[in-house]
Amino acid sequence: MKPFTYQRALSVDTAVAESSERCRLLAGGIDLLGELKEGLVEADKVVAVTRIPGLDTIEKKSAGWTIGANVTVATIAAHADLARAFPGLAAAARDVASPQIRHVSTVAGNLLQHSRCWYYRHRDVTCMKKGGDVCYAREGEHKYHALFTGGYCISPLVSSLAVALTVLDASVVVRGRGGERRLTMAELYAPAWDDHAVHHAIVPGEMLTAIEIPLAARRSAFVQASEKASFDWALVSCAVSLELEGGVVRQARIALGAVSPVPYRDERAEKALVGTRLDETTADAAAALLLEKAEPLPHNAYKVPIARALIKRALLAAATPG
Amino acid sequence: MKPIERSSGGAGAPAHVVSRRAFLRGLGTAAVTAAATSTAAVAAEMEKAGGEATVGPGEVPLEFVLNGKPVRTAAEPRETLLDVLRARFGLTGAKEGCDRGTCGACTVLLDGKPIYACMRLALEVAGASIETIEGQSLAGGLSPVQAAFVKHDALQCGFCTPGFVMTTTALLRANPTPTEAEVRRACSGHLCRCGSQPHIIRAALAAAGVATTTTSTADSLRHDHA
Amino acid sequence: MPEWPKDPKYIGKSTPRVDGAKKVSGAAKYAHDVQPEGCLYGVVLRSRWAAAKITSIDLAPALKVRGVKAAILVREGSRQVRYYGDELAAVAATSKRAALDALRAIKVVAEPQPHVVKEHLAARPDAPRVFAETPNTGAGRERKQGDPDKGFAEADVVVEGLYATQVEIHQPMETHGGVASFKDGELTAWHSTQGISGVRDGLSGALELPQNKVRVLGEFMGGGFGSKFSAGVEGLLAARLSQAAGAPVRLMLTRFDESLAVGNRPSTFQKIRVGARADGTLTAFSMESYGCAGYAAGGPSAGGSTNSGFPAPYIYRVPNFRTRHTEVSIHAGPAAAFRAPGCPPASFGIESILDELAVKLGIDPVELRIKNDPMELRQRQYRMAAERFGWAAKYRKPGSSSGPVKTGVGCAGSAWRVPGGGTQAEIEVSPDGSVEIRCGTQDLGTGTHTVIAVVAAELLGLTPADIQVRIADSRFPPSGASGGSMTVTSVTPAVFDVCTKAIEELMRTSGLADVRGPQWRAACRKLGVSPLVLQGRWIDGLSAAGTGGVQMAEVEVDTETGFVRVKRVTCVQDAGLLVNELTARSQANGGIMMGIGYALYENRVMDSTSGVMLNPNFETYKLPGIADVPEIDVAFMDLLERRVMGIGEPVTIPTASAIANAVANAIGARVTSLPITPDKVLAALGKVPGAARDNPHDAWMSLFATQPA
Ligand SMILES: Cc1cc2nc3c(=O)[nH]c(=O)nc-3n(C[C@H](O)[C@H](O)[C@H](O)COP(=O)(O)OP(=O)(O)OC[C@H]3O[C@@H](n4cnc5c(N)ncnc54)[C@H](O)[C@@H]3O)c2cc1C
Ligand code: SF4
Ligand code: FES
Ligand code: FES
């Protein structure tokens, strides 16, 4: 790490005023320190945001739940009321990395973490995402890479919480120098779909302050498949939410993680479920629709059958009272 | 192991440092050592005193509670907690196995919870309580967790051991009678290349007084064929 | 002939590690932890190119960085680099930060050259050469026995297969390196090593210092697994930096460096044919194989890259065989000895094809092995293991368990034969009765401290706690390196010898008929004021070589996600005369855990375009974690008459093979290369659209196309 100065922000205003290309916001630091140590990003200054008062609470209001940006992943995983309301979110939080990481990582840091593509993370490789002119992964080692992308970079979104929050119709509250804006999860990641240079929509000078989840009579579930039994990235993850009425689907959301630069959804798959009763057949049909546009490469085609299985499992789990 | 006391920042030291130190002195060792509440109090006071001053990039004074005792040192903003513990305090029990938050060898407790010291800027722990392996075997003897690790041979080369001991200690404080699955979950952020995990599970459960597990069984069949 | 006590009190029982308290309390000082007064921090600059001519390296900017005390080149003048990560220069500074700042300031001018980092591409005639003067594939070596053609002609069935194993990296939790300190022309080196004498000799040779001016220490070390026998480039750089800076220097590799440059288990590609009679009796075996030890040619100890290090058809009795093994070089870090060099890859090939044969013949895999295994002891182990494991009830037709999550079982055997020897030891008995044993061996976590204490306590009639064990100092009587599972077989006879001599001497000086146990203190008091110091050495007849073992594994495979979970492993291991059961059990568990990593997770991934290693970290070079631990059942055959044997290596050999066979048994299709990851499981099941079942094989087959068999 090159030398930098350090400031502990005690208000969102300070963080927003300071934040820039050369001044990074520091939450749990798991992602940022990794990047600084490898020299992937450089900072003249680091502004710690975790002591800003009021951003570390989980509140239930009439319109919905608000999760402060500084709430840790461990807190989400252990929050009993939240888990009852959104089992999928709790399940996703429980599987993030390791206890040591969950204890310090914040929900904002998790959502805004950068690419994990091993070329991007390599100190001596300069790919498109880092300003170079080729994507090494496409012609090279892409077993962990995306099946869907609108651009050329195939680095997938890896935040588990992003996937879980997507199906809850959550939005993020973002403070900038000019004021506040709200983005849906889709909007938060939309720029990464076809712009290889970015990871998400938050720009220097902005700070994510909260996540809002609307109240709805939904069931949710999250499942992931990895190579190891724990402390391993998802090869594919899948979150679903369902509104059921007498066993019949009224509304469905399905999002996939680790297969696209964004939480991957396809409305056709979700609509196809509406009016049906969930069983192996309907779930599998939805899975097939969701995966229809996959563009597998030689080493990542295996993610297609995994995704298909996970979609089915997540749907059936959410549909089963428990 | 005596912490090395460094003189703080010199001419450029921000004003809040003085009040922090004054605060710690005022609080007295006993109070700081006592409990988490005093740690929280230290944090609150320091925030007030510290304000939002920009510090560094050179060495900045830093105070926190280390193994129950308030300590003072100085660190550059880019120094990690692990580097500060090892290089500035000479506390080498926490190891650097990866320096990237993937192996757990550097695990210490931050306000009672296991964290990777290699992935924490030292300045981030200002006012907090840090516990390292050196603080575990107080009064000369081994803690119950440590004793169980020795008894059940939950170690081979021992390089990963301090980290596992810290995590197990935190687990048993929060959950005195864990199940085997809970032990596995709690320790999932640690690697052990010697493959001591089966005995680590056994030791953790034994330290909790939980009936021993099925994870590793053994027989020695002396003179089985003669 | 000397003999071990018949009715031991400590030998074969479980004594907790005598150094355990130090390790659990953070008091144990590894090389990583040693901080002499004024110690500097050393770092290594490595090549960013897989192949390049380095024309100049400018250290001047580094020397200008505040806190930097020395900067040196690994080699003067222009030079060739042959892999990403090759050492170029080193810096010592007062802090880690200053050292890393300096590293970034060094200017390297290089002429990059074409590289090749994949084995099958390196074997092409037009591939960039690793060494300009020689092709990337060697001449190959043949071994032959009997008449293979006749053997195949006599066979009722012939099976063929192509099996591949990956590059596995040692990844000890403590990286390579150490602390070097010069004082008055003498060098003291605290080194993380498996062989203090070798390090001493290496440093004294390279630095042209007399051997008596170099002292190497390493009481605690954080694992080596075969990769830490020498001082290494990093050890030498630490010493040279210390000379240049006039201060002690601590140079421990980063995990990144560790993954690139200090050794690995070579990859192998094995095209095997086996012929057998209808009753399962093997008649012929042929194998054409390639091994890749990175850029280095790889000697026998590199394992898997030469015939001597690549045993095939491994443990089985085949009257007629022909093998041809060829080395292939790529622009990648070099191989080093790795726990049971050559054996795990060789085992994977033969054990896989034996299971194919068993299926084809409709014979139980265990029966097939018993039939063709020449070692009577191992035949018995198969029966014992089968009973403990419940094999008969568990073994079913491949792929026949119902539901999407399928279970399966597999087995494999192992052999290891490296005899001990060449150790001297010293005992000092003080008039107050205290005992110190000194020996220039080392404890890699294998329990050497404890084993010495146990043996001495047994012979002297004391308790292990009474024995002060001092090892890992090159000033102590020499012992060999700790490799080949020969520490216990080398050290215990020497300890036996000094203890026996001490007893004889004490009987003489004290006039007592028995000086052991209760008489010990009284006898020692008779020594007067000076302690008794005696030397001894390894003696024949107390230790032996030639252990055997078998393992059985049960796995669960999710055929929808390809996820494999090892449920159970049973290990029956001939341990000779077991010295300390508790620590031996740890070793067996450790061997099995390492085998699980080899079977399911670990793999060095090289990138063709850039020539870099993509996963020099624990995030994507995946080691098994605590959640991956199966139920493990270890049974040692503790056989006094077989004398002391080492088990550290044999216990890891058959694990991956047994798991691979269990996976094939579960899903009814075989993943023919390690590691067995979900992508390969799904491909083997034919579930990956567009992927051939044997996808990777197409690439590997080109290896075999380059040279006629
Ligand atoms: C080995 C390993 C395995 C992992 N496995 C998983 C996994 O399975 N699932 C998963 O989801 N994650 C996983 N992670 C990633 C890990 O969870 C994230 O790195 C972590 O959650 C990031 O949170 P943080 O608080 O530490 O972020 P930081 O590193 O502090 O911040 C991350 C980024 O967000 C910016 N930032 C932080 N807070 C704000 C804010 N409020 N407003 C604007 N910008 C902000 C920072 O500047 C930085 O760029 C893994 C990581 C490792 C090392
Ligand atoms: S996938 Fe994206 S991040 Fe990875 S190499 Fe290609 S451009 Fe770079
Ligand atoms: S050294 Fe911190 S996790 Fe490995
Ligand atoms: S005991 Fe050696 S790494 Fe765990």
What is the third-level CATH fold of A219-319?
Answer: Enolase-like; domain 1 (3.30.390)
**Do C318 and C433 share a domain, yes or no?**
no
**Do C216 and C75 share a domain, yes or no?**
yes
Probe residue for ligand 3, chosen from B86, B92, B103 as the CB with the greatest number of ligand atoms within 8 Å = B103
Closest alpha carbon to B59 in B3, B116, B104, B14:
B14
Q: Is B55–A5 a contact, with Cβ atoms under 8 angstroms apart?
A: yes
CA dist C144 and C146 (Å) reads 7
Give yes or no for residue B36 having a pLDDT over 50. Answer: no
Closest alpha carbon to C622 in A299, B193, B155, A33:
B193
Q: Check the CA dihedral C612-C596-A30-A105 and report its sign.
A: positive
CB proximity C392 to A under 8 Å: no
Six-digit token pair at C683?
């491909």
Q: Is C25–B142 a contact, with Cβ atoms under 8 angstroms apart?
A: yes
Give yes or no for residue C439 having a pLDDT over 90. Answer: yes
Probe residue for ligand 4, chosen from B161, B197, B199 as the CB with the greatest number of ligand atoms within 8 Å = B161
Closest alpha carbon to A254 in A225, A226, A219, A303:
A219
Q: Is C683–A119 a contact, with Cβ atoms under 8 angstroms apart?
A: no
**H helices then E strands: how many in chain C?**
19, 25
Model confidence pLDDT, tens digit, residues A195-205: 999 999 999 99
CA dist C113 and B15 (Å) reads 56
3-state secondary structure of C600: helix
Contact between residue C432 and residue C524 where contact means Cβ atoms under 8 Å apart: yes
Set of chain B residues whose Cβ sits within 8 Å of the Cβ of A104: 110, 115-116, 119-120
Q: What is A58-112+156-214's CATH number, 3.30.465.10, 3.40.190.10, 3.40.1440.60, 3.30.420.40?
A: 3.30.465.10
Beta strands (DSSP E) in C357-465 are 405-416, 424-429, 435-439
Give pLDDT, residue C642: 86
- Please give the mean pLDDT across all residues of chain B: 82
Half-sphere exposure of C201 (CA within 13 A, CB side): 9
Residue-level length of chain C: 709
CA distance B225 to chain A (A): 40
Classify residue C376 by burial, with Cβ atoms within 10 Å: 0-12, 13-18, 19+: exposed
Average pLDDT over residues A241-259: 97
Phi then psi dihedrals of residue B39, to 5 deg:
-65, -45
Give pLDDT, residue C419: 85
**Do C290 and C247 share a domain, yes or no?**
no
Phi then psi dihedrals of residue B99, to 5 deg:
60, 25
Six-digit token pair at C662?
């269990």
Give yes or no for residue B109 having a pLDDT over 80. Answer: yes
Closest partner CB to B57 (pick from A5, A9, A29) = A5
In a domain, residue C328? The reply is yes
**Do C287 and C327 share a domain, yes or no?**
yes
Phi then psi dihedrals of residue C43, to 5 deg:
-140, 160
| Chain centre to alpha carbon of residue B91 | 11
In a domain, residue C261? The reply is no
- Indicate which CATH number applies to the domain containing C108: 3.30.365.10
Give pLDDT, residue C691: 67
Q: Which of A280, A306, A308, A315 to mutate to test binding with chain C, by most C CBs within 10 Å of its CB?
A: A306
Contact between residue C345 and residue C289 where contact means Cβ atoms under 8 Å apart: no
Cis ω for the linkage preceding B57 (within 30 of 0) = yes
pLDDT band at B54 (very low <50, low <70, confident <90, very high): very high
In a domain, residue C6? The reply is no
**Do C513 and C579 share a domain, yes or no?**
no
Give yes or no for residue C709 having a pLDDT over 60. Answer: no
State which residue of chain B sits closest to C225, comparing Cα positions.
Answer: B194
Closest partner CB to B188 (pick from C585, C625, C631) = C625
CA dist C556 and C538 (Å) reads 47
- Single-letter amino acid code for the residue at A251: Q
Give yes or no for residue B138 having a pLDDT over 50. Answer: yes
CA dist A96 and A61 (Å) reads 27
pLDDT band at C706 (very low <50, low <70, confident <90, very high): low
Half-sphere exposure of C283 (CA within 13 A, CB side): 17
Q: In the listed set C537, C558, C586, which residue is the last one of a domain according to the structure?
A: C537
Six-digit token pair at C158?
């012939």
Six-digit token pair at C114?
């074409």
Q: In the listed set C252, C279, C303, which residue is the last one of a domain according to the structure?
A: C252
> Which ligand sits closest to the CA of C445?
4
**Do C518 and C591 share a domain, yes or no?**
no
**Do C463 and C575 share a domain, yes or no?**
no
Q: Is C678–A136 a contact, with Cβ atoms under 8 angstroms apart?
A: no
Give yes or no for residue B14 having a pLDDT over 50. Answer: no
Q: Is B146–C25 a contact, with Cβ atoms under 8 angstroms apart?
A: yes
Cβ partners under 8 Å of residue A219, min gap 6: A87, A241, A242, A243, A244, A318, A319, A321
- Which position has the higher pLDDT, B41 or A210? A210
Domains and CATH numbers, chain B: 56-138 (3.10.20.30), 142-226 (1.10.150.120)
Set of chain B residues whose Cβ sits within 8 Å of the Cβ of C587: 156
CA–CA distance from B164 to each of B158, B192, B198, C563, C587 (Å)?
10, 9, 13, 27, 18
CATH 3.30.465.10 placement within chain A: 58-112+156-214
Model confidence pLDDT, tens digit, residues A36-84: 999 999 999 999 999 999 999 999 999 999 999 999 999 999 999 999 9
Six-digit token pair at B100?
């990237």
CA dihedral A24, A27, A29, A31 (to 10 degrees): -80
**Do C108 and C225 share a domain, yes or no?**
yes
In a domain, residue C331? The reply is yes
Q: Check the CA dihedral C240-C244-C247-C253 and report its sign.
A: negative
Phi then psi dihedrals of residue C339, to 5 deg:
0, 105
Percent of chain C with pLDDT over 90: 89
Give yes or no for residue C695 having a pLDDT over 60. Answer: no
CA dist B37 and C322 (Å) reads 74
C267 CA distance to ligand 3 middle (Å) = 28
Model confidence pLDDT, tens digit, residues B151-193: 999 999 999 999 999 999 999 999 999 999 999 999 999 999 9
Closest partner CB to B47 (pick from A4, A51, A230) = A51
A129 CA distance to ligand 2 middle (Å) = 6
CA dist C207 and C235 (Å) reads 11
- Which position has the higher pLDDT, A155 or B20? A155
Six-digit token pair at C314?
């491994």
* Residue owning tokens 């690697």: B191
Sheet holding A248-257, edge to edge: A219-225, A236-245, A248-257
Closest partner CB to B55 (pick from A6, A29, A51) = A6
Contact between residue C602 and residue C622 where contact means Cβ atoms under 8 Å apart: yes
Average pLDDT over residues A261-280: 97
State which residue of chain A sits closest to C619, comparing Cα positions.
Answer: A232
**Do C558 and C702 share a domain, yes or no?**
yes
In a domain, residue C159? The reply is no
Q: Is A1–C561 a contact, with Cβ atoms under 8 angstroms apart?
A: no
In total, how many domains does chain C have?
A: 3
CA dist C460 and B219 (Å) reads 27
Domain holding C438, by residue range, is: 20-29+419-537
Q: Which ligand 2 atom minimizes the distance to the CA of A119?
A: 5
- Helix (H) or strand (E) holding B220, with range, is strand B216-222
Give pLDDT, residue C701: 77
Residue C404 is given by DSSP the state: S
Cβ partners under 8 Å of residue C134, min gap 6: none
Q: Is the CB of B155 under 6 A from ligand 4?
A: yes
Give yes or no for residue C680 having a pLDDT over 80. Answer: yes
Q: Which ligand 2 atom minimizes the distance to the CA of A153?
A: 2
Please report the residues numbered 467 through 526 in chain C whose beta carbons come closer than 8 angstroms to any beta carbon of chain A. none
Probe residue for ligand 3, chosen from B98, B109, B191 as the CB with the greatest number of ligand atoms within 8 Å = B98
Average pLDDT over residues A202-230: 96
CA distance A100 to chain B (A): 4
**Do C78 and C95 share a domain, yes or no?**
yes
Give yes or no for residue C232 having a pLDDT over 90. Answer: yes
pLDDT band at B41 (very low <50, low <70, confident <90, very high): low
In a domain, residue C97? The reply is yes
CA distance C637 to chain A (A): 32
CA dist C372 and C496 (Å) reads 39
CATH 3.30.390.50 placement within chain A: 219-319
Give pLDDT, residue A151: 96
**Do C300 and C234 share a domain, yes or no?**
no
CB proximity C254 to A under 8 Å: no
Give pLDDT, residue C141: 85
Model confidence pLDDT, tens digit, residues C624-646: 999 999 999 999 998 888 899 99
Cis ω for the linkage preceding A298 (within 30 of 0) = no
Residue B143 is given by DSSP the state: P
**Do C301 and C444 share a domain, yes or no?**
no
Per residue, the 3-state secondary structure of B163-216, as one string, reads HHHHHHHHHHHHCCCCCHHHHHHHCCCCCCCCCCHHHHHHHHHHHCCCCCCCCE
Contact between residue A271 and residue A254 where contact means Cβ atoms under 8 Å apart: no
CB proximity B169 to A under 8 Å: no
Give yes or no for residue B38 having a pLDDT over 50. Answer: no
3-state secondary structure of C71: strand
Model confidence pLDDT, tens digit, residues C166-186: 999 999 999 999 999 999 999
Residue C74 is given by DSSP the state: S
In a domain, residue C259? The reply is no
State which residue of chain C sits closest to A136, comparing Cα positions.
Answer: C609
- Which position has the higher pLDDT, C602 or B224? C602
A162 CA distance to ligand 1 middle (Å) = 11
